[in-house]
Structure 1
Amino acid sequence: MARISRRELFKLSGGGALAARAGGIASILALKQAPAYAQATTLHWLRWNDFVPTSDALLLKEIVPECEKALGIKLTIEMINGNDIQARTTSAIQSGSGPDIICALNNWPQLYPESVVDVSDVAEEIGKAQGGYYDESKVVANDGKKWLAAPWCIVGALLAYRKSWFEEVGYPTGQFPQNWEQYRAAGKLLKANGHPMGQTLGHTFGDAPTYAYPYMWSFGGKEVQADGKTVVLNSKETTESVKFMTGFWKDAYDEGGLAWDDSSNNRAFLSGTCSCTLNGASIYLEAKRKPETYVTEKGTPLWQDILHAPLPKGAAGQFGYHLPMSNMLLAYSSNQKAAKEFLRWITSKEVYQKWFDTQQGYTVGATTIWEKDKLWEKDPVMLPFRTAARAGRFPGYEGPADRHAAEVLSKYIIIDMYAKAVQGMAAEDAVNWAHGEVASVHA
């Protein structure tokens, strides 16, 4: 695999066997005491600020002390904005020091194969114990030879929408728009009523790519052929998707969404200034957590007026892209053995269950066992997220989600293709530009 230069890494970041291990974590959990080797070991775990605050609170208040008790590891958890993680990763790799473990979003692990530790023993053990991984969790963290990271979770990406407002424009409960034409027509009526849809086409890790890629696929567009080398973005299908987007954006969307990040649409929806947006379940969960703060124009709890739906169908089908996360163990770490035991421990069923419960369905586990959890019996509004990860594709389609796909994603090429057209560039020119950029990545 080709090595990425330091300059390229800074550009991408935006800132410059198994059997022997199988019973190991079970023994630790059973004994409830730290293994002797790990005494006084410290670990630094860098991850994102979760959109579900109670999950971060659990990690800091319960998991940190439990980790020291169970493993003898003094755990430091640092939480930063998800959009800043890639820059921190690059900086740490370049300096040869930093967090021992970094939570990677999307297929970022594919960018750093020479700089991470092979965690195949950990990943295979957890996968075997928990019903196997979703395809998406595997393709982003495994390069076909080894596991570059230990899968952690998948954030389901679905449309959150105001039930009552859609009813007003002719779409009662159970009859959400099924295709892009219907969705655009509904959006035009909603915008006329002062309730535009909300979407970002900005440089942000979550909402922009999880919208733009499935939208392109639904029209039949794709980056490359199955060989992973032949770039075919400049197609009639892709061009049609861009042309449709330019009119759709003006008809239905809050046009200021171009500058939004992954939290802007949350704020817009919760404040009542947008009617529908692609997101994880954090909008609904936050509204439910604070029913007296977030209310409708009628004064009723907002959460009671929120439902979820998948992105609409296109001529080529209906697709989703749900955000995977995995934990990379950096090669410069001097605590690699302890770090692997920590990854085994934190992703074990007993320990992970506590974190999963606080998520309330905002994420599904990276393994299929979590679909069977009793959590899904608690709230029918959350049920669409239960199996969302089974319907996902991933950037790089129809080729692999490899380093090239990760680079295209990190450079926001597909998102910028649509953004340029929305801002006035001819659809054909926007597609030609994007095709050239993707081709340069694959050169």
Structure 2
Amino acid sequence: MAMQPGGVTRLGRRAFLRTAGAMTGAVAVGGLPEMVAAQKAPSFPKGTKLSILEWVSFVPASDVEFKRLAAEFGKVAGVDVTVDLINMNDLNPRIASAIETKSGPDIIMMISNWPHLYADGLADVDDVAEEIASRDGAYYEHNKKVSVVGNRWKAVPLCSVPSTWAYREDWFKEVGATKFPETWDEWRKVGIALKKKNQPMGQAFGHSLGDPNNWAYSVTWGFGGAETDQSGKVIINSKETLEAVKFTVAAWKDCLDEGGLAWDDSSNNRAYLAGTISATINGASIYFVAKRQFPDIAKVTGHAHMPKGPGGRFYNIGGQGRAVMKYSKNQQVAKEFLRWFMDRPQYDKWMAANDGYTVGPTPYWEKHSLWEKDPKLIPFREASKFGRWPGYPGPPSRKASEALVKYILVDMYAQAIKGMKPEDAVKWAESELKKAYA
């Protein structure tokens, strides 16, 4: 700390933000301490602004808490903070436009491999990311892989949003399944029985970032297939990938709701809550809505891990990060916000607001008390252990990001479902991936 004339202690900018953030946690248990209430140390020049671009979360309370924390930071830092929320599928074009015009938000949400796709337009955030890891422990591998480009951190890992299977325990029991199937073969047998009762499972295969990719990547890996090998060489055209595609085509006919080709990331939520499907891959948002609006459905909803295939159990969990834009004139305040937000007193509140929808970027957050409140959420806490990134086992490169945003794997499955021979669908994917990786 520095001393002002007369012996008055003046907190440095970073120390002030940390102290104010930590003391804010005391508000709920007795009010802001006098020493913080009286603290008038400036942190940034008057008129400093910070603009943040986020998605519209599937958990409304998450957005409310994020905005509240942003406003709190603005108050303690003397910064005018604005948070804009847009639909997830609109983020990519907005980011591309901002980088091209060199104007826009100071901080932008990154999903999965996007830091690799937009690396040239992102500022380095090594100091913030490494400080968090030194405090909370090493990041999960998938969170680190998608955020580090070369040897520089291009995004600060914020969280992951795992998608497990939400399923109707009562309907599964009616067809003899006392628990969710452990393997894809067992899954198909149960699915056949459910669809015969007009209770199909549901899966999206449209161009939406979440659910379609969760199936495409997780199933491909589960059957032993992959887009590339560890060196980045395209190897999608394999017997393992072909088996995954054949399995999906059979599952489409035997187990799944056949409206899924036109579904987006909200369609399966609505179908499940309407009682027209018996299970679907999704984040915890379905369960949260059910608890609020459809308590009878919530009572009979369980969550389960992705089934194992011949290649193992995998989740497509690319992880989320927040990037400071290279064009930003407010890079320092942007970094300070991320440092402050990820500090435990603030992040704890945001994670609690998500109620299990998000998982922290390090194992430290597996100890959060929210996981003990509802055992039905435990699979979400555990999912990161099986998380991989698009392009796995190759590096999460710009090329892998291009393959992701072009929906190459999703379209491989969708075309086979529509009638293309599985062999031709795999060859098509091979051709498209070679273009992306050229």
* CA displacement at 1:63 relative to structure 2: 1.7
Show the counterpart of 2:279: 276
Show the counterpart of 1:9: none
* CA displacement at 1:409 relative to structure 2: 0.6
Aligned equivalents of 1:313, 1:51: Cα separation in 2: 27
Secondary structure at 1:387's aligned position in 2? Answer: helix
Q: Which moved more, 1:34-43 or 1:253-262?
A: 34-43
The superposition leaves residues 383-409 of structure 1 with CA deviations (integer Å, 9 ceiling, x where unpaired) of 111121111111111211111111111
The 5 A counterparts of 1:339-358 are 339-358=334-353
Q: Is the alpha carbon distance of 1:389 and 1:35 closer, same or farther for their aligned partners in structure 2, counting shifts above 3 Å?
A: farther
Q: Which moved more, 1:141-150 or 1:314-323?
A: 314-323
The 5 A counterparts of 1:178-193 are 178-193=182-197
Aligned equivalents of 2:56, 2:217: Cα separation in 1: 24
TM-score under structure 1 normalisation?
Answer: 0.90
**Equivalent pair of 2:202/2:277 in contact (CA under 8 Å):** yes
Query: Residue type of the partner of 2:192?
Result: K
1:403 to 393, 398, 401: 398
Q: Aligned-residue CA RMSD in angstroms?
A: 1.6
Which structure would you say has the larger Rg? 2
**Identity fraction in percent:** 48
Secondary structure at 1:311's aligned position in 2? Answer: coil
Aligned equivalents of 2:383, 2:352: Cα separation in 1: 18
The superposition leaves residues 84-118 of structure 1 with CA deviations (integer Å, 9 ceiling, x where unpaired) of 10110001111111111110111111111111100
Show the counterpart of 2:77: 71
Aligned equivalents of 2:13, 2:131: Cα separation in 1: 8
Aligned residues: 412
Question: Which structure 1 residue ranges, 4+ long, deviate > 6 Å from structure 2?
Answer: none
Q: Is the alpha carbon distance of 1:54 and 1:133 closer, same or farther for their aligned partners in structure 2, counting shifts above 3 Å?
A: same
Structure 1 gaps of 5+ residues are 1-19, 296-300
Show the counterpart of 2:3: none
Query: Residue type of the partner of 2:49?
Result: T
**Equivalent pair of 1:206/1:323 in contact (CA under 8 Å):** no
Aligned equivalents of 1:181, 1:87: Cα separation in 2: 39
* CA displacement at 1:415 relative to structure 2: 0.6
The 5 A counterparts of 1:105-254 are 105-172=111-178, 175-228=179-232, 230-254=233-257
Aligned equivalents of 1:113, 1:312: Cα separation in 2: 34
**Equivalent pair of 2:17/2:77 in contact (CA under 8 Å):** no
Aligned equivalents of 1:325, 1:34: Cα separation in 2: 33
Show the counterpart of 2:431: 436
Aligned equivalents of 1:426, 1:323: Cα separation in 2: 30
Show the counterpart of 1:8: none
Query: Residue type of the partner of 1:347?
Result: M
* CA displacement at 1:39 relative to structure 2: 3.2
Does 2:311 align with 1:307?
no
Secondary structure at 1:245's aligned position in 2? Answer: helix
Does 2:52 align with 1:45?
yes
Q: Is the alpha carbon distance of 1:34 and 1:156 closer, same or farther for their aligned partners in structure 2, counting shifts above 3 Å?
A: farther
Aligned equivalents of 1:83, 1:352: Cα separation in 2: 25
Show the counterpart of 1:327: 322
Q: Is the alpha carbon distance of 1:33 and 1:54 closer, same or farther for their aligned partners in structure 2, counting shifts above 3 Å?
A: farther
The superposition leaves residues 154-174 of structure 1 with CA deviations (integer Å, 9 ceiling, x where unpaired) of 0011000000000011101xx
Query: Residue type of the partner of 1:197?
Result: M
1:102 to 97, 103, 108: 108
TM-score under structure 2 normalisation?
Answer: 0.91
1:26 to 14, 18, 24: 18
Show the counterpart of 2:5: none
Aligned equivalents of 1:64, 1:268: Cα separation in 2: 34
Aligned equivalents of 2:304, 2:43: Cα separation in 1: 50
**Equivalent pair of 1:34/1:72 in contact (CA under 8 Å):** no
The superposition leaves residues 372-429 of structure 1 with CA deviations (integer Å, 9 ceiling, x where unpaired) of 1111111111111112111111111121111111111111001100000000000111
The superposition leaves residues 174-213 of structure 1 with CA deviations (integer Å, 9 ceiling, x where unpaired) of x321211221121111111111111011111111111111
**Equivalent pair of 2:163/2:283 in contact (CA under 8 Å):** yes
Show the counterpart of 2:263: 260
Secondary structure at 1:37's aligned position in 2? Answer: coil
Aligned equivalents of 1:112, 1:78: Cα separation in 2: 20
Query: Residue type of the partner of 1:132?
Result: A
Show the counterpart of 1:6: none
2:381 to 380, 386, 406: 386
Aligned equivalents of 1:52, 1:214: Cα separation in 2: 24
Aligned equivalents of 2:350, 2:332: Cα separation in 1: 23
Query: Residue type of the partner of 1:281?
Result: A
Secondary structure at 2:121's aligned position in 1? Answer: coil
Query: Residue type of the partner of 2:372?
Result: E
Query: Residue type of the partner of 1:196?
Result: P
1:88 to 80, 91, 94: 94
**Equivalent pair of 2:44/2:77 in contact (CA under 8 Å):** no
Secondary structure at 1:326's aligned position in 2? Answer: strand
* CA displacement at 1:22 relative to structure 2: 8.2
